[in-house]
Amino acid sequence: MALNYTKKTLDNFLKPKNIGKINKPDGYAQIGNMVCGDQLDFFLKVEKGKIKDVKFLSFGCASNIATASVLTEKVKGMTVVAAKKYPWQKIVSELGGLPNQKVHCSVMAVNGLKKAIADYEKNEESKKKTPLKKTVARKTVAKKIIAKKKLIAKKPITKNPTAKKKTTAAPQKKK
Amino acid sequence: MKVYLDNAATTKVDPRVFKKMEPYFSKEYGNPSSIHDLGQNAFRDLMKAKEKVAKLIGGETNGVIFTSGATEANNLIIKGAALANRTEKKNKIIVSAIEHPCVMESAKFLARKGFKVEFIPVNSEGLVEPRELEKIIDKETILVSVMAVNNEVGTIQDIAALAKITHAHGAYFHTDAVQAVPYLKLNVKKMGIDFLSLSAHKFYGPKGVGVAYINRQIKFKRLFIGGCQEDGLRAGTHNLPGIFGLAEALELAYKDRDIYLKKISSLSDYFWKKIKAEISGVKLNGSKSKRVPANLNLMFSSIEGEAILMDLSYKGIYVSTGSACSASDLRASYVLKAMGLDKNFLNSNIRFSLGRFTTKESLDYTIKALKETVKRLRSFSPIN
């Protein structure tokens, strides 16, 4: 059976738009997994209810990459309310059609985006519930903990790189 | 540059083969079943082709049945042998877990007809261990079918040993030898093969023609009914250009065998060593020693096989993700599953199959392109 991708699908596979990560995203979701053969990770930045930036990572086939590429391009700048309703059929027509056995890729992309938006909404909800003071306090505590962890992690490697080796090698000798 | 590395799917027709076929389209177009001269000339040539094929595989001339390819040959043999030899006490068919879909589906067809069908597992190397056959074969068994060389991972099975065990239990042995030419020296009598399937387009012959070799001492039931071609075992007008192409291609494959094997082995070694040196996270699937040199089935960690294939295709390099049928079938390879490959790696495999027309330059180009492809796809993979 043929797998005739359209030129637009191939273009979006070869030069995908919005590919990569967003640091500290407002919303994040992973859909699918590598055992099933495809996985997408979506990252969102939202400002005043609108998608300011959206990026994705992919473990998947050409149409997995192409559908996510087109979707992210289309929903950038949309309100989250509108983006949530973006239909998979539109991705398919936008690409000039997909092979039958690949249509599920567009459904997966749409569901992945919805999941990332739901994550954003959940984050917003929890922000509303917790008073501002507390979150600030939590953040500073968290920062301190992270800083401490980094120090601990760095210490043995940077300050005395041989020390760790010695300690791990010693018990072996005893054996 | 165009690089064809999908020779396990199909091969280019050798110009020498094509030349042999040409007269039978519009000059010597007679039907071998016709009694006039034009027909009888065709019949004589047909018999010569049959003798040639029989000689090359070490069998009897009347056992060579020409078919439309290996799918038909495998259907014909498995169904034909099972249905003809079924008794109250004999009702079992055994096939390996990594057979081609046409063998698998024929076995499942028989299961629906009430036959007992059992599968021999393979080890992690993709090899059928003879002792695994010993465990499940019994007096009830009619037929055992194990492919000589696997189409996805290129592993070579110990056909003679499996045939010996099969015969010791009073059953018949079939091998789908589609991927074995010219890597294995086929000799049906010496190897104890009762039934064998071949397909011309896998060894530089034309598509649409194959061989079902049938030991005529064994009871057999035909599939196609109609005219009395092929001793009544396969009705239908002979595909003469195809048949002469097949006979010529098979002869050339074994005539050129030594030079061919030397060339393919050295190219394949070079290719694999270079890939290993230049790309990280790559693993060879299947046995390293018991495989045909033309096949390199490789796993590229954290990226998806079809994406690699499409990216390479855009650069003019043609490979496959396992078998040619996999384009329409989204399920991961059942062959790699049967070998127990880590499930995280099941969707990250590419089959490179080298051939007679592969050059070192084309492999250098492929390695360069492959490096870029893998780097690009890994740059945005969510899996570390």
Q: Could you confirm whether B102 is annotated as catalytic? A: no
Measured from the Cβ of residue B261, the count of other Cβ atoms closer than 10 Å reads 15
pLDDT of A139: 55
Cβ-Cβ contacts under 8 Å, B314 against chain A: 10, 14
Domain end residue (candidates: B212, B233, B255):
B255
Within 8 A by CB and 6+ apart from B198, the residues are B57, B70, B73, B177, B178, B181, B210, B211, B213, B246, B250
For B115-148, give one letter per residue: b (16+ CB within 10 A) or e.
bebbbbebeebbbbbbebbeeebeeebbbbbbbb
Domain end residue (candidates: B255, B282, B309):
B255
pLDDT at B205 over 70: yes
For residue range B309-336, list pLDDT tens digits in order.
999 999 999 999 965 544 445 678 999 9
DSSP-derived secondary structure for A128-172 = HHS-HHHHHHHHHHHHHHHHHHHHHHHHHHHH-HHHHHHHHHHHH
Q: What token pair was written down for B151?
A: 């189409």
Which range, of A129-133, B69-73, B235-239, averages the lowest pLDDT? A129-133
Confidence of residue B380 (pLDDT cuts 50, 70, 90): very high
Tell whether B347 is within 8 A of chain A (Cβ): yes
Does residue B384 lie in a domain region? no
Domain end residue (candidates: B255, B270, B291):
B255
Total beta-carbon pairs less than 8 A apart between chain A and chain B: 67
Nearest Cα residue in chain A from B328: A1
How many domains does chain B contain in total?
Answer: 2
Confidence of residue A128 (pLDDT cuts 50, 70, 90): confident
What is the span of the domain harbouring residue B313?
3-10+258-379
Nearest Cα residue in chain B from A1: B328
Residues B212 and B277 in one domain: no
For residues A175 and A169, give the distance between their C-alpha atoms in angstroms, rounded to a whole number: 11
For residue range B83-123, list pLDDT tens digits in order.
999 999 999 999 999 999 999 999 999 999 999 999 999 99
Length of chain B in terms of residues written: 384
Phi, psi of B290, deg, nearest 5: -95, 65
Among B330, B334, B308, CA closest to B319:
B308
pLDDT at A164 over 80: no
Cβ-Cβ contacts under 8 Å, B348 against chain A: 34
Q: How distant is the Cα of A36 from the closest Cα of chain B, in angstroms?
A: 8
For residue range B157-199, list pLDDT tens digits in order.
999 999 999 999 999 999 999 999 999 999 999 999 999 999 9
pLDDT at A12 over 70: yes
Residues B280 and B249 in one domain: no
With a pLDDT cut of 90, the percent of chain B lying above it is: 97
Does residue B237 lie in a domain region? yes
pTM (2 decimals)? 0.89
Cβ atoms B378, B320 nearer than 8 A:
no
Distances (CA, A) of B175 to B129, B157, B184, B214: 15, 10, 12, 11
Domain ranges of chain A: 7-129, 132-174
Complex-level ipTM beyond the 0.85 threshold: yes
Does residue B333 lie in a domain region? yes
Q: Which residue has the higher pLDDT, B127 or A146?
A: B127
Q: How distant is the Cα of A35 from the closest Cα of chain B, in angstroms?
A: 5
DSSP A101: G
Q: How distant is the Cα of B350 from the closest Cα of chain A, in angstroms?
A: 13
> Is the domain defined by A7-129 classed in CATH 3.20.20.70?
no
* CATH number of the CATH domain containing B365: 3.90.1150.10
Yes or no, beta carbons of B314 and A10 under 8 Å apart: yes
Query: Is the backbone peptide bond immediately before A171 cis, with ω within 30 degrees of 0?
Result: no
